[in-house]
Amino acid sequence: MAYDYSKLLAQAEMWLEQAQKNAWLSQQTTLAKPNSPALPNTLYDSEGARPLLVAFMGGTGVGKSSLLNRLAGQAVAQAGIVRPTSREVTLYHHQSVNLQGLPEQFPLAQIRIAGHNDASKQQLIWIDTPDFDSVESANQQLVLSWLPYIDVLVYVVSPERYRDAKAWRLLLAEGGKHAWVFAFNQWDMGQDEQYLDFRRQLHQAGFDNPLIYKTVCPNGGSGDEYAELQATLIALANQNTLKQLEHLGRQARNKDLQQQLLHFQEALGNWAAWQQLSLLWQQQWPITRKLLQQGLAWPLQQTALHYAEQAANLHNRASTEGLLWDDWAQTRFNDALDELVIAAAPLGIPTPPLKNQLGQLRPIAAQLIRQHTEIGARQALANPGNVVQRGLLKLLHVMEVLLPLAAMAWAGYQVFTGYYTSSQSHGQYLGVDFAVHSSLLIALTWLIPFFILKKCQPSLQKSALRGLNKGLSNALNQIDGEVLNALNALTLQHQQHCQQLEQLIAHCAEHQPLPTSVSDPDNPLQRMLAHQR
């Protein structure tokens, strides 16, 4: 199935717009389109057969207008020695040809229309175009505007001007979109070396065996091949040739669009490079992480002290923002991201989308660090110390209660038994020594756990520092994950763009079968087509 060029162009424009939106291609990237979406048959009545449109194109003073006047048998185009002479488009056609109407962008004031009744040339429309190498830019624009409507271009040169750069560049750019016939005009002043040199140029442009006719206009002369040129053009004016040319025109447009899309595909880079970029980050991040942990050691201690003071004094609510993640830390993180962007360029990876995606991560580093360190510090202060310390503290709290109770129970038992014994024997009741010793025992059973409890109380600053270190580690892990997620998201987006572009390129390559007569090497049309080298 062959896709219509206009649909392919619309899809390509939509793809380009999305690629530019995601920064895969710059806003200055454009999709070159033909000056007109029309084909030659749009100039004519759609019903019935249409004529072949032949245009004379060339530089200033090569004799385009004189050649057209000779073919027409009358002065239909302005000719002279003043340069540039041609400032308008001249149409010369049989009076039976019904033009639908010229495109709106072509000012009627710049088009001269002349008719004839020569039946042998009924299926031909001749066009004389302005001098393409003119200093007047309007002439160049007029030629470019007419090119999409042309079936056959007669490229006219002269011994003096056959190497002109401007017209030659147009030939190289438009070579594959038209059928070409070459007229080496003013041959009475030419030399065989110039003819051979011109033929070599055409071969480099893709014409293996070009049709070159030596002409002497306006009156003919020695070596003149005007009759052969006229016969060739008249022979081409048949519907079979027109269908072949229209097919080749559509195919050339699709091919031109395909070449542009291939250029876009090259600019996107390849999937393997993105995989390599992720590996580079995984190698680079541990180095940056170690540097950050070393550089944040002192700010962590200061922040831990701040949290300890805050825990000891409930009225101290000073902010910790800026105490830990300072300008130095942010700069180190930015440097790591910049190094990744720099490493992407040699891999052929477009850096703008990478910069945009990583740029979104730069401000969140401070947020993640503050969030995780605050949670870590608060959790650490809520449960200070390690498991052993917390277990010991619980045991001491129990002993602080149980030991004094046990001592008081023992003293009470001694008081009761002493009282009972003294009542039976009428001996002395408990003395002063017992009172002193029992009081000391009770005091010691309370003081000893209390003292040990105070000494074993974990440091709030150390607990906060432990929580901050844990929070910092968690934050750095999340930052690493965010960067990898960003790279993975870009890789997926890259694959989607590439897949869509590959489909468009494949559709551009899906042509209708080429008519066998065009591919036939004996077909004269083959000599009029440029081929890729």
Phi/psi at 125 (nearest 5 deg)? -120, 125
Question: Each residue of 114-126: pLDDT tens digit?
Answer: 888 888 888 888 8
**pLDDT tens-digit profile of 350-399?**
899 999 999 999 999 999 999 998 898 888 877 776 667 666 667 767 77
Quick check: 248 and 153 in contact, CB under 8 A? no
Q: For the chain, what are the domain ranges?
A: 40-237, 387-456
38-71 pLDDT per residue, tens:
566 666 555 556 788 888 888 888 888 888 888 8
Q: Give residue 29's Cα distance to chain centre.
A: 10
pLDDT above 60 for 86: no
pLDDT value at position 324?
81
CA dist 290 and 322 (Å) reads: 20
Euclidean distance between CA atoms 232 and 222, whole angstroms: 20
Secondary structure string (H, E, C) spanning 358-412:
HHCCCCHHHHHHHHHHHHHHHHHHHCCCCHHHHHHHHHHHHHHHHHHHHHHHHHH
pTM assigned to the model: 0.64
Mapped onto helix, strand or coil, the DSSP state of residue 124 is strand
Dist. CA 80–CA 502, nearest whole Å: 53
C-alpha to C-alpha distance for 516 and 140, rounded to whole angstroms: 36
The pLDDT value recorded for residue 43 is 60
Between 315 and 130, the higher pLDDT residue: 130
Among residues 62, 57, 51, 133, the alpha carbon closest in space to that of 92 is found at: 51
Which pLDDT does position 84 carry in this prediction?
41
Nearest to 75 by CA among 85, 67, 83: 67
Cβ proximity of 82 and 177 under 8 Å: no
Lowest mean pLDDT: which of 11-20, 100-109, 151-160? 100-109
- Please give the CATH number for the structural domain made up of 40-237: 3.40.50.300
Q: Please tell me the predicted confidence (pLDDT) of residue 222.
A: 81
- Provide the terminal-to-terminal Cα distance of the chain, rounded to the nearest Å: 27
Distances (CA, A) of 491 to 60, 278, 433, 494, 497: 54, 10, 88, 5, 10
Between 271 and 187, where is the model more confident? 187
Q: How far apart are CA 232 and CA 211, in angstroms?
A: 9
